[in-house]
Amino acid sequence: MSEDIFIHIPFNVYSAYAIEAARRYVTLVEAQLSQAYSDERSEALQQFNSIPNRDETDYEAYVRVVERFYEDEYRPTLRFTCVVYFYMLFETHVSSHVAEIQRLLQGDPKILKNIRSKKKCGLVEAAQIYFTDHAKLAFFTNEQWLQLREIAHVRYCIIHDAAIPCDSKYRDFIYALERRKWQGKPVGLHIDRCQGKDVGAQMVLEQRFLEYCLSVLEHFFHTLGTAAEATFYK
């Protein structure tokens, strides 16, 4: 009988490829959406300009309706779905890395699931417990783990609370994320307020927020990969 041959591929390779693919996907879709908006608005303006005795009502019917579709529906939906996609990317690759480490440690491959069940926590918290307490990899600070949890909370709010922070059990985390700085500027998440109070509308995500999420994930997988390679493949 032939023995199974395990070929080790460095931890950073697959996750780095996935992060770069996600970054290119966001750039591509944003560009396509902008081009579609430009084309449709231009066509709507031509139709509007061809109307005799046109007025503001005609502008609303032809041009503003296109603007609203993109500003209020298409662009927000794109960015919400990107956050969900990023979380799926994190979930897939962190689970893969844990499985490989567990193979090396000859441990339970379902350990993440067991931690989540026992601690009644989310995936990010379970991953932190696993890497810190079980794999003994101290590669991320508590503040950096918090950044991952905040992104997970935004994803949860999008899926379960229609992207309305004040309705979410994680609203305080999302409010704190709105105030967080990245590269000297806010991360690009906004909440509509009146006299300082959340008005109960959907959060607004800029493209900058997607870039922020990708930078957090990229740093996580890079530092994890470096620590894992040094510990398990010296």
pTM > 0.85: yes
Is 74 within the bounds of a domain?
Answer: yes
Q: Which domain holds residue 188?
A: 12-232
What is the per-residue pLDDT for 60?
94
User: pLDDT tens digits, residue range 223-233?
Assistant: 999 999 889 88
What is the spatial distance between Cα 220 and Cα 30, in angstroms, rounded to a whole number? 25
Is 4 within the bounds of a domain?
Answer: no
Using pLDDT thresholds of 50, 70 and 90, give the confidence band for residue 90: very high
- If 0-12 CB within 10 Å is exposed, 13-18 middle and 19+ buried, where does residue 230 land? exposed
What is the per-residue pLDDT for 2?
44
194: helix, strand or coil: strand
What integer is the mean pLDDT of 19-26?
Answer: 94
Is 145 within the bounds of a domain?
Answer: yes
Check pLDDT > 70 for residue 3: no
Is 6 within the bounds of a domain?
Answer: no
What is the per-residue pLDDT for 11?
76
Q: DSSP code of 223?
A: H
Report the number of distinct structural domains present in the chain: 1
182: helix, strand or coil: strand
Is 7 within the bounds of a domain?
Answer: no
Alpha-carbon torsion, ordered 170, 171, 173, 178, to 10 deg: 140
Is 3 within the bounds of a domain?
Answer: no
Check pLDDT > 50 for residue 53: yes
User: pLDDT tens digits, residue range 137-180?
Assistant: 999 999 999 999 999 999 999 999 999 999 999 999 999 999 99
What integer is the mean pLDDT of 116-122?
Answer: 95
What integer is the mean pLDDT of 37-54?
Answer: 95
Is 38 within the bounds of a domain?
Answer: yes
What integer is the mean pLDDT of 184-188?
Answer: 97
132: helix, strand or coil: helix
| Chain mean pLDDT for the chain | 93
What is the per-residue pLDDT for 8?
67
